[in-house]
Amino acid sequence: MRKTRFDYLKEMNIDTRWLNRPTNNNTTSSHRENSLASLQDEVSECNKCMLASTRDKIVFGSGNLDSKLMIIGEAPGKDEDLMGEPFVGRAGKLLDEILFSMGVTRKSVYITNTVKCRPPQNRNPFHEEIESCSDYLNQQIQNINPSMIILLGRVAANRMLGTEESMSNLRQVIFNHQPSNTPMIVFYHPAYLLRSPSQKKQMWADIKFTLDYIKENDCTIN
């Protein structure tokens, strides 16, 4: 009888049981889920900045942990603070429409914010508050490992790009997240579009730019 590679390996006293072990496609997903759950527990106990004293609930993030598309907003608002979920108010409904126009749904993406607690009166988060959450956000990006990141609004863009440039100078430009080299694109924040509906036309232009990039670069987002 002709010997197989298993026979040769056994003759060399090499354990071959691992060769027959079925591949577990959920291993990475399970590790990701456990890692993010542990991180969420850590965030729930966080007291690094003053926002911890005024929050109702932390807003860690939600969505598909295996998503190829990650959405990073600015900060939770009143509705998000009450429910503990990102983008649940009017801005969330508009975000759903934006995602739908890109051929994806909220359930297929992962959504989070630069800070995990609501700033009082929905003000922009201070620099030290953003820095307090910086490591949490970095770990979320590392765990999700998306193929593309969309930054919603100036606060998220300035944090991720390390710049104080205005939105007009950041739109329709491909940036690369380091060290992952993941492409990042800046969109207007849905809350801004609700306040300035005349800018929605610019938003649709940004979506077209993004879809063209995805097609030209064979980038997967769902």
The pLDDT tens digits of the residues spanning 202-217 come to 999 999 999 999 999 9
Q: What is the mean pLDDT of residues 120-128?
A: 95
In whole angstroms, give the CA distance from residue 159 to residue 110: 18
At the fourth CATH level, the homologous superfamily of domain 28-216 is Uracil-DNA glycosylase-like domain (3.40.470.10)
| Helices first, then strands: H and E counts in the chain | 10, 6
Q: pLDDT of 144-170, one tens digit each?
A: 999 999 999 999 999 999 999 999 999
Q: What is the mean pLDDT of residues 56-71?
A: 96
The predicted pLDDT at position 6 comes to: 44
| Tokens of residue 141, six digits | 């990006």
Q: What is the mean pLDDT of residues 18-38?
A: 67
The predicted pLDDT at position 11 comes to: 55
| Candidate from 15-19, 125-129, 196-200 with smallest mean pLDDT | 15-19
pLDDT of 180 over the 70 cut: yes
The predicted pLDDT at position 219 comes to: 86
Task: Return mean pLDDT, the chain.
Answer: 89
DSSP-based helix, strand, coil % in the chain, nearest 5: 50, 10, 40
